[in-house]
Chain A
Amino acid sequence: MSRVSVPCHVKGTVALQVGDVRTSHGRPGVLVIDVSFPSIAPFQLQEIMFKNYYTAFLSIRVRQHTSMHTPAKWVTCLRNYCLMPDPHSEEGAQEYVSLFKHQMLCDMAKVLELRLILRQPSPLWLSFTVEELQIYQQGPKSPSMTFPKWLSHPVPCEQPVPLLEGLPDPSRVSSEVQQMWALTEMIRASHTSARIGRFDVDGCYDLNLLSYT
């Protein structure tokens, strides 16, 4: 299914914490990221993709466009999705994640705004967030083509032209040529990734020192 990236504006993360941020000693365990789409009309969400950075659980709330004049409400579309099976250890901490429309709890037909709620209950990590956030909407379906009349409505079979002496049957030749063309296309398309095994360049393996890059 084709998808098209939607330009989004990611507002700064807001930490939720009990008490005064300055004076309390603990680190916040909940962060909220607001994602808005300033220049796009309400769209159908296909996929959310991001790179995790030590977030353990993710919830997503969405605000959709409603046709009537009622104010749009926030609805939870993903609840406590687990990104790190053990919040205290590194498993899943820096993985790339994709969330699809079919994993959401509600229909994502006319998205106006998204709110990502990140949770990291473990006190061991200094910070956590999600990076490289990208939102995709459904791409356009392949455009319907109009066929020329002679393709969609072929004329009834004509009488085949009488064969000339000594020449092969044209329909057989054309089908064989077609098969050969198909074979060459297949060979061209299937290239192997096998190595040749040479480590030198034209027989020469006289090296400089090793490079540090």
Chain B
Amino acid sequence: MLQEESDLSLIIAQIVQKLKGSSLYGQLERQAWASLQRPEIKLESLKEDIKEFFKISGWEKKLQNAVYSELSVFPLPSHPAAPPEHLKEPLVYMRKAQGSWEKRILKSLNSMCTELSIPLARKRPVGEQKELLNKWNEMGTDEPDLSLFRPVYAPKDFLEVLINLRNPNYENGDSLSFRTHLGLIQVPLKVKDIPELLRCDEQSSANVPMITLPPSTKSFSELFENEHVRIGQKVLAEQDSAAAQQYIRQGSPTALRAELWALILNISSQPEDILYYEQLKTNVIQHDLLVDSLIYKDVKLTASNDDYYFVFEDYLYQVLLCFSRDTSVLDHFAYNSASPPKSYIRGKLGLEEYAVFYPPNGVIPFHGFSMYVAPLCFLYHEPSKLYQIFREMYVRFFFRLHSISSHPSGIVSLCLLFETLLQTYLPQLFYHLREIGAQPLRISFKWMVRAFSGYLATDQLLLLWDRILGYNSLEILAVLAAAVFAFRAVNLMEVTSLAAAEAVLADLSTLKVMPLLQIFLFATVT
């Protein structure tokens, strides 16, 4: 009992400390001062009256949403003796692996810098600043020479690192035992099986039909759809984050999606937020970073070539360039196993007052990074709101897809979950693919690292990301990957090489996410 009480007070103290730095705190204070004018606020019962006023005027709800947001993002406070690196990642060998992976990335970036003789950062001359400001909304028309740049790494390089991840205290012998990992991932993390995954799913029970019912029952599905939309509008009117998160587990109507996501992520476009975005834009105009060229190259290689996303090319530059300058992203490294790269001002090597992070947000983009932003462009058209939503999605979910950690939503656990689901529920398929040298993870890894962006049709992708927000977990990516393999199992059993297997699974754009998941979760288990 004592322990729980002290844990609770520790959590409360942590959340209060965080919220004190937010704009909500200032707003609440101003509202409290303004409310003193109201007749119902009496001096004798000041505290109670102001609390009542907050409840009626909706400010209490805003505070509730902010607290709920903090609880969803920040991990619970750990043991007082645990050092900060333990909060980032509890397992020592994973921390080491992440450290050496980061070192490789830094070496690669440094060598690119010296080979091309381009500085990591450069202050733009005034003429260039004016020019960039003028074409801010059409940076896509620019055709800089990017042939010498290459992406720092691609998902397949990262996969090789994960394949070689080993726990030094684990029996990694050659002899087969009951726990030999037949897949590519060789670390014994705990992953869920289908009954456990469904238990998480309990709130959105199978009794409530999903949105996508087969066309033959059109009128029936329309009735459910209208009811669903009505409930969604009610949730939005209440402005309650927790309720919105529960609601979106059954998918979101297209018209309400943008507002629902903003409510769940606790994003409201205040004037300060727009001002903050403008400040980031100024930073982009003043300084030119090497990372900018990497972003340009990535957008040109991936999003610009995609049938759905090429129209949003300019938006992508506007979001990603500003993202690189945003120091508030550094806060997420407290619970991310990765660490931001560090450097010193020229001539001041080793002096801590001149130590800076590079890029300012600590995140080095890799090949395909811009695909995290592209689907959001369908929902948000105002750059500062689009930016805020992307930043929040990144610090809650996407960072886990490219750092080595033991977290259940981390990419290592997702890979192991995928392989385990396939082995358990489709053992023949798994065995066949393994025999022909086509380990399934080699094909599905790129889908999971990009959260299926660029592989699924956009409307299906957004339905998938609805569930990620609803369950606050990325495990559904692994389940969908296994479901895709299950769906194409018949064809896959006939292939005889990795290339042929890749060909069978090359095009996912016709797949419908929810029926696939339902078949896999409810029908495959017999």
Contacts and interface: CB of A to CB of B under 8 A. Distances in A.
A208 B171 contact: no
Interface in A111-137: 123-128, 132
A197 B21 CA distance: 13
A179 interface: no
Contacts of B341: 210-211
Interface string B174-210: 0001010000000111100000000000000000000
Contacts of B331: 195
Contact of B189 (A90, A94, A123, A195): A90
Nearest to A122: B179
B38 interface: no
Interface in B126-177: 167-171, 177
Nearest to B94: A90
Given A98-B79, A207-B356, A90 B113 contact: no
B170 A190 contact: no
B520 interface: no
Interface centre among A85, A86, A94 (most CB of B within 10 A): A94
A23 interface: no
B119 A207 contact: yes
B188 A206 contact: no
Interface in A121-164: 123-128, 132
A20 interface: no
A82 to B, nearest CB: 14
A107 interface: no
Contacts of A110: none
Given A100-B2, A199-B357, A206 B119 contact: yes
Contact of B344 (A89, A126, A192, A208): A208
A89 B344 CA distance: 41
Contact of A94 (B91, B120, B328, B353): B91
Contact of A210 (B106, B167, B354): B106
Contact of B179 (A88, A128, A193, A206): A88
B356 A201 contact: yes
Contact of A199 (B167, B170, B283): B283
Interface string B61-89: 00000000000000000110110001000
A126 B170 contact: yes
B406 interface: yes
B327 interface: yes
Contacts of A124: 170-171, 177, 179, 188
A210 B170 contact: no
Contacts of A198: 327
Interface residues of A, number: 45
Contact of B22 (A49, A86, A127, A194): A194
A170 to B, nearest CB: 24
A84 to B, nearest CB: 10
Nearest to A134: B81
A133 B360 CA distance: 40
Contact of B21 (A90, A98, A192, A208): A192
B188 A209 contact: no
Interface of A, helix, strand, loop or mixed by DSSP: loop
Given A194-B22, A209-B113, A210-B120, A93 B330 contact: no
B121 A205 contact: yes
Contacts of B121: 205-207
Contacts of A132: 81
A212 B82 contact: no
A89 B356 contact: no
Interface in B263-310: 276, 279, 283, 287
A3 B240 CA distance: 43
Contact of A90 (B123, B168, B188, B357): B188
Contacts of A206: 119, 121-123, 345-346
A88 to B, nearest CB: 6
Interface string A42-58: 00000001010110000
A212 B353 CA distance: 18
A200 interface: yes
B510 interface: no
A95 interface: yes
B279 A213 contact: no
B283 A213 contact: no
Contacts of A211: 106, 341-344
Nearest to A199: B360
A121 to B, nearest CB: 13
Contacts of B279: 197
B91 A125 contact: no
Contacts of A192: 17, 20-21
B107 A212 contact: yes
A132 B92 CA distance: 15
A174 B187 CA distance: 68
B253 interface: no
Interface in B307-333: 325, 327-328, 330-331
A8 B342 CA distance: 41
A213 B2 contact: no
A22 interface: no
Contact of B356 (A91, A199, A209): A199
Given A94-B91, A124-B179, A199-B283, 19 more contacts: A54-B169, A85-B190, A86-B190, A89-B190, A90-B190, A95-B79, A98-B79, A192-B17, A201-B353, A201-B354, A204-B123, A205-B123, A205-B356, A206-B122, A206-B345, A207-B120, A207-B346, A209-B113, A210-B120
List of 5 A-B pairs having minimum Cβ-Cβ separation, nearest first: A194-B21, A199-B360, A192-B21, A96-B79, A89-B190
Interface of A: 49, 51, 53-54, 85-86, 88-91, 93-98, 100, 102, 123-128, 132, 190, 192-195, 197-201, 204-213
19 contacts: A49-B81, A53-B169, A86-B190, A89-B189, A91-B190, A94-B90, A96-B86, A124-B177, A125-B171, A126-B168, A128-B169, A192-B21, A198-B327, A200-B287, A204-B123, A209-B110, A209-B114, A211-B344, A213-B342
Interface of B: 2-3, 17-18, 20-22, 78-79, 81-82, 86, 90-92, 103, 106-107, 109-110, 113-114, 119-123, 167-171, 177, 179, 187-190, 276, 279, 283, 287, 325, 327-328, 330-331, 341-346, 349, 353-354, 356-358, 360, 406
